[in-house]
Structure 1
Amino acid sequence: MFAAQELSTFDETLAIWVAEPHATKVSVNDLGLEHQEALREILTKVIATEIAKETYAQIIEGLPLLRVFEDCFNVTKREDLTAHGHLSSDSIAILKKFKGNFNFDILQFDAKTARAYQNTTFDLREFKLRLLEMIAVACHKIAALLYKEVKGDAIPTERILYQPPPITYPPSYDGTLRKPVARSPYLVLPTDFYHMSYQAMEQYPDGIADVVGYWAELRILGAWWCLIGGRVEKRFCKDAFLHPQPHQRMMHQLHDHQIDQLVNFESVKKESALDGVEIILPPLPFQNERYSRRLDEWDALDQNIFRDMHERRWDAPPPQRCVRSGEDVPELQDAIQKLRSEGQL
Structure 2
Amino acid sequence: MTEAPPRTPIAADRRRWARYLAEERSEAQVYRDLAERREGEEREILLALADAEGRHADHWIALLGGEPARLPAPSLRSRMLGVLARRFGSIFVLALAQSAETRSPYDTEPFATPRMAADEKIHSEVVRGLAARGRRRLSGTFRAAVFGANDGLVSNLALVLGIGATGVASQFVLFSGIAGLLAGALSMGAGEYVSVRSQRELLDATEPNSYGDEILPDLDLDANELALVYRTRGIPSDEAQARARRVLEGARAAQAGQAPSASAAAHPAPAHRDHDVVGSALGAAASSFLFFASGAIIPVLPWIFGMSGAPAIIVALVLVGAALMLTGATVGLLSGTSPLKRGLRQLAIGYGAAAVTYLLGLLFGVSMG
Q: TM-score band, normalised by the shorter chain?
A: under 0.3
Bigger Rg over Cα:
2
Normalised by the size of structure 2, how large is the TM-score? 0.21
The structure, 1 or 2, with the larger RCO (C-alpha pairs under 8 Å, 6+ apart) is: 2
Determine which structure has the larger strand proportion and give its number: 1
Determine which structure has the larger helix proportion and give its number: 2
